Copies of this chain bind each other. A is one copy, B any other.
């Protein structure tokens, strides 16, 4: 018998659930989205049975991990928008922090399965929309401030963000290397940049997972 989804879980059950999501996140990052369920269960310190009680199949686990991750992106974006003195600073901060959000993007990018799941999940789409909304506002702000070139849209920034999430197999150097790539991108985004970009600004809507 499965609990009514609306009934809040008992405290220990919730803790259990959280452990599993955290473990799955770790393991997905380490070994990709194809790890055996048993490995995830072990990492969470539970049996497979328990895992399956919480998440009836792999799909729903991926979904849970991903939603949580998106939630964090939203939080981060809100904080950046609220706390930074200028929109440009908020964008730079978002680009810098995005590496911590790696997982969701990786899941969407690497695993056709995960992609399909996320595409069809309304909650995820709402998170995405929310993020793009914030970003859009920031981009306009930064352009108004005169710090950001006018031929980019929120979508362009989101794409650069996503690119930085690629998992380069460089071990120690990975952070430095990506920091530098980011710095190049930021310079390229500045209002002083010269060559016009091809096409038209990319919007958040353009990036809806398909």
Contact = CB atoms under 8 A, between A and B. Distances in A.
Contacts of A163: 163-164, 166, 181
Nearest to A179: B198
A23 B171 CA distance: 32
A183 B198 contact: yes
Interface in A162-193: 162-164, 166-171, 173, 176-181, 183-190, 192-193
Contacts of A210: 169-171
Contacts of A171: 210
B159 A168 contact: yes
A184 B188 contact: yes
Given A34-B34, A112-B32, A171-B210, A159 B187 contact: no
A38 interface: yes
Nearest to A165: B166
Given A1-B42, A169-B108, A202-B177, A185 B188 contact: yes
Contacts of A42: 1
